[in-house]
Amino acid sequence: MVARKQSRFAFLCASVPLWFILLSGLMIIRPFAAVAGPEILFDGNRAFADLRTQCEFGPRPPGSEAHARCRDWITSACRSLDLETTHQTFFAYVPLIGKTVRLTNIIALHQPRNSRKLMLSAHWDTRPIADNESDPVRRRMPIVGANDGASGVAVLLELARLFRWQPPRVGVVFVFFDGEDVGTERSPYCLGSQYLADHLPESLRFEKGVNLDMVGDRDLNIPLESYSWRHAQPLALEIWKIGSQLYPEIFRAERGREVFDDHVAFVKRGIPYVNVIDFDYPYWHTLDDTEDKCSAASLESVGRVIARFVLSQ
């Protein structure tokens, strides 16, 4: 990664208000109208407890004991919620670790026989090095990843609990991607999502997807990620319409950075997929990405927006 963010994260459009962005030079986006919908019973405190549990395992880079324990814990949590849960396992050489490691995508289906499905995803691995630390010694240490990893997983697990009692009309494919955060300037990120996109079984075919990454920051601000905007615009507008109505101070009607993340492999295959991310996080890839930098309120705001979106399908 070059200069902290510029290799993986391109600064294409810095916070341009959506109201003034031209769509194909023809149409101007107007303010979103009010959104009606059912009461959402998403529990932010319970989601935060799941974030804390992951952090208690310690850093979870692939190949570590904590990584294996976290995999088993997520799997058990999904099965306890009556989700049809399987593993998609593959092996990859990871230069940051210096060896070939076993990677596991955890796939859990709600209403697996529903002919219509959408996908909700997050990555569960954590960065093997704290490469944004200023101290070279600290830079070689793995991160706990409270926000960068655990937050998205926590929201997905609570959504799975919610849908057990408030089932949507569509099936939901929950995917916990492995190997998202193992890249360098010369080696790829997002290994798990790329592998699933290359080996997507017919039983998992889905219409659209939403990826959650770094959604637990206490000071949460989520502009519309630029790659999602360019390649999955109708879906992005659908989600931000809900978000800007429920939490206008968080789901900002602005276009943000382009972020290479787990949605990209699917968008490249023509599947609408949106990335919900707050990348303005000062503790990114440092040892200070810990649970005290996150909040239950932030998890709940994102969870309620995504739940409302899914229940509207």
- CATH at residue 183: 3.40.630.10
Which pLDDT value is given to residue 186? 86
152 Cβ partners below 8 Å, 6+ apart? Answer: 121, 122, 123, 211, 212, 213, 214, 215
Give me the chain's average pLDDT, please. 90
Percent of the chain with pLDDT over 90: 85
Percent of the chain with pLDDT over 70: 88
Which pLDDT value is given to residue 42? 96
Domain that holds residue 154: 9-311
- State the average pLDDT over residues 292-312: 98
Which pLDDT value is given to residue 34? 52
pLDDT at 128 over 70: yes
Structural domain contains residue 189: yes
**In terms of Cα–Cα distance, which of 111, 115, 112, 89 is closest to 102?**
89
Instruction: Please tell me the least confidently modeled range out of 6-15, 190-199, 236-245.
Output: 6-15
pLDDT at 7 over 90: no
**In terms of Cα–Cα distance, which of 154, 269, 280 is closest to 205?**
269
The dihedrals phi and psi of 194, each to the nearest 5 degrees, come to: -65, -40
Output 26 or 268, whichever has higher pLDDT: 268
Which pLDDT value is given to residue 41? 86
Helix pair angle (296-311, 44-56), 10° resolution: 120
The long-range contacts involving 101-105, CB below 8 angstroms and separated by at least 24 positions, are: 101/62, 101/63, 102/62, 102/63, 103/62, 103/178, 103/179, 103/191, 103/192, 103/195, 104/71, 104/178, 105/175, 105/176, 105/177, 105/178, 105/192, 105/195, 105/196
Structural domain contains residue 107: yes
Structural domain contains residue 4: no
Which pLDDT value is given to residue 253? 84
Strands annotated E in the chain: 9-10, 16-17, 22-23, 27-28, 84-94, 99-110, 117-123, 171-177, 209-213, 222-224, 251-255, 258-259, 273-277
Q: What is the pLDDT of residues 78-100, one digit of tens each?
A: 999 999 999 999 999 999 999 99
Q: What is the pLDDT of residues 33-92, one digit of tens each?
A: 555 566 778 999 999 999 999 999 999 999 999 999 999 999 999 999 999 999 999 999
Which residue shows structure tokens 């879906």?
A: 235
Structural domain contains residue 2: no
For 59-98, the DSSP string reads: ---TTSHHHHHHHHHHHHHHHHTT-EEEEEEEEEEETTTT
* Domain count along the chain: 1
Q: What is the pLDDT of residues 133-174, one digit of tens each?
A: 999 999 999 999 999 999 999 999 999 999 999 999 999 999
Which pLDDT value is given to residue 40? 77
Q: Give the rounded distance of the alpha carbon of 46 from its chain centre.
A: 18
Structural domain contains residue 121: yes
Structural domain contains residue 172: yes
Q: In whole angstroms, what is the distance from residue 136 CA to residue 48 CA?
A: 31
**In terms of Cα–Cα distance, which of 227, 124, 134 is closest to 182?**
124
Q: In whole angstroms, what is the distance from residue 140 CA to residue 36 CA?
A: 49
Q: What is the pLDDT of residues 250-291, one digit of tens each?
A: 999 889 999 999 999 999 999 999 999 999 999 999 999 999
- State the average pLDDT over residues 200-215: 97
The vertex-202 CA angle with 198 and 206, nearest 5°, equals 85
Q: Tell me which H or E stretch contains 50.
A: helix 44-56
